[in-house]
Amino acid sequence: MAIKVYKRTSPGRRNSSVNLRDDVTCSTPHKPLLRPVKRRGGRNHRGVITTCHRGGGHKRQYRVIDFRRDRDGVAAEVRTIERDPNRSCNIALVRYDDGEMRYILAPAGLRVGQKLYSGPDAEPRPGNTLPLRNIPPGLEIHNIELNRGQGGKLVRSAGQSARLSGREGAYAHVVLPSGEMRMIHVDCRATIGQLSNAEHQGQRIGKAGRKRHLGRRPHVRGSTMNPVDHPMGGGEGRRGGGRHPCSATGKLAKGGKTRKRRKQSNRMILRRRRNVRNGQLVL
């Protein structure tokens, strides 16, 4: 894939670029695997806004993705590679030997006509899904399960991959893209390879209209509001706020602890994710 930079014919074109998606082979989705998506505009069941700056955008349909990959021993042929408006990476439509069609997350380098397998006996090749106990250490993996049979929960965005560093007893040591090292049971499954559409982060939106098409409404700084609207509002002139940055409800935005202290999965973390200070990674 490649990033196309527009000619500077207008202020919006001057700063925008698009992903050409050369590896996408089909623009029409498989209708039996589509589901309607009800847009809520960032509101909960009572109509209260719980996520700000959401709403509008182009109408979408959800593609049902097979995150479990539990068809062991049955070959799946890749039919098409498609763009999914609900996620950053591409998806692939596969057809099993018995005629069943499913969508899966497409790894980088996947081609139409390629055969994919899942299960303990599958070969460790890109696109195949195996338990962590059967994956050689050092390989890149994605779509990793946290609990056996639950389906992939980790490493599902464009261009991301984790690395299996080793195994000790009933647990495997997996290094996530954030730098965090976590213990995961060896019976949990993962898919080999790096996810597709790695150039996703390289494209520039360029103008406000493209952001509105994605369902993102304008973002207003809290320091420009009145004190009645935001804790950081008010003051004479362009005041910095006078307190630590926070949300409209007072929740700390930078450096505040938000993770539960007694979360069950904390004991599975061997090394916390990396911090960046002055452009340097601090372990």
pLDDT digits (tens, 9 = 90+) for 115-163: 999 999 999 999 999 999 999 999 999 999 999 999 999 999 999 999 9
- Which phi and psi (to 5°) does residue 209 adopt? -65, -40
* pLDDT at residue 158 in the model: 96
Q: Which residues of 15-50 are buried (b: 16+ CB within 10 A; e: fewer)?
A: ebbebebebbbeeebbeebeeeeeeeeeeeeeeeee
Q: Which amino acid is at 162?
A: A
Q: Which residues, including other chains, have CB under 8 Å from residue 237's CB and lie 6 or more apart?
A: none
Pairing outcome for strands 162-168 and 171-175? antiparallel
Q: Which residues of 229-262 are buried (b: 16+ CB within 10 A; e: fewer)?
A: ebbbbeeeeeeebeeeebeeeeeeeeeeeeeeee
The ranges of the chain with pLDDT < 50 are: 276, 278-279
CA within 13 Å, CB half, 181:
10
| Helix (H), strand (E) at residue 174 | strand 171-175
**pTM strictly above 0.85:** yes
Name the CA dihedral angle for 207, 28, 100, 193, rounded to a multiple of 10 degrees: -40
| Pairs from 33-40 (Cβ < 8 Å, separation ≥ 24) | 33/63, 33/64, 33/93, 33/101, 33/102, 33/103, 34/61, 34/62, 34/63, 34/64, 35/61, 35/62, 35/63, 35/64, 36/61, 36/62, 37/61, 37/62, 37/86, 39/215
Reading the block at residue 110, the tokens are 């996947």
Domain residue extents for the chain: 3-200
Topology classification of domain 3-200: OB fold (Dihydrolipoamide Acetyltransferase, E2P) (2.40.50)
Count Cβ atoms below 10 Å from residue 128 Cβ, excluding itself: 20
* pLDDT at residue 283 in the model: 52
* pLDDT at residue 275 in the model: 58
Pairing outcome for strands 189-192 and 101-105? unpaired
- Which phi and psi (to 5°) does residue 264 adopt? -60, -35
* pLDDT at residue 242 in the model: 81
Q: How far is CA 169 from CA 124, 166, 172, 183, in A?
A: 21, 10, 8, 11
Instruction: Give the pLDDT confidence of 177-204 residue by residue, as tens digits.
Output: 999 999 999 999 999 999 999 999 999 9
Helix (H, G, I), strand (E, B) or coil at 94: strand
Query: What is the C-alpha separation between 269 and 77, in angstroms, rounded?
Result: 37
Asked whether the beta carbons of 145 and 190 are under 8 A apart, the reply is: yes
